Amino acid sequence: MNVRFIHKLFAHLKHNTLWFILIDRFFRFFRRKNKTLQKTFIGRKIFYKFKSFYFGSSAPKYAQRIWINPQKCQVVSNKYTKMHFNPKNTSGRVIKFWPDQSMVYPPYSHEIIHNCVKHWVRGMTWEETGEKDRMIRELQSRHKYSLPQSIVKRKVNNRCNKLDDIYNFVKKQGYLTRAQLVPDNFREEGNFFVHIGPNGECLFAGGGYHRFAMCLILKLELVPAQVGWVHKKAIKNNIYSAFSQY
């Protein structure tokens, strides 16, 4: 047996961190193999039992609904997210690291959110904001072969019209939960992601830049979101529970 492995094992036993390592490896294995396991009844029970064993009943769940104030959120860099793991596959993951200020910036400085402000606040068209050009580049980058311009423009135009419809709906009805929009939706899956920091900091992590921009522009102060990462200090200090108690 590897001597280095034995030394690590005894170090974990000495500092009482072996259970944490085993649980973390258990989560990583199943997330890598099949993330849909967490959506099944047995999978939800297994994952939550193991997590609650270490972090208690306030442990975050996969795709759990949390309530946040968009006006107090900052945006985390996509570069930082890709350096660690995809938040879409790790919703509800408990972490012990947190990005520094060089990886965090104000939401209005993001290109998509800035373009939304130009359109819905200043009255500029989607063409004038540059958002249509960005969508075209993004759509073409997703396909291995270049799509005909007529198809690309039609998809982008439909997308922009749909965004305007969603904005008008949110302006009248408010930002609803996924269960209110889709009754059989699994928890808050499909909503944008928000990470919770050690002191209750909120970091928007993608999964719906346009919808997040709507909440900012309409100055909504309490909206539902899908939990991303949660710092372990936020759980131990009962900070995370305040985001899911509504």
State how far the alpha carbon of 153 is from the alpha carbons of 133, 137, 162, in Å.
10, 11, 14
User: What is the pLDDT tens value at each position of the chain, 246 positions in all?
Assistant: 456 656 566 665 555 555 555 655 665 555 554 455 555 545 555 555 555 555 667 788 888 999 999 999 998 876 666 555 454 556 888 888 888 888 899 999 999 999 999 999 999 999 999 999 999 998 888 776 677 888 889 999 999 999 999 999 999 999 999 999 999 888 899 999 999 999 999 999 888 999 999 999 999 999 999 999 899 899 988 899 889 865
State how far the alpha carbon of 179 is from the alpha carbons of 29, 58, 65, 188, 240, in Å.
29, 22, 10, 7, 22
Encoded tokens for 245: 């108690």
- Could you tell me where the DSSP H helices lie in the chain? 3-15, 18-33, 41-55, 78-84, 111-120, 126-129, 131-142, 149-173, 178-181, 209-217, 232-236
**Burial (CB count <10 Å: 0-12, 13-18, 19+), residue 45:** exposed
Residue-range domain boundaries for the chain? 55-130+170-246
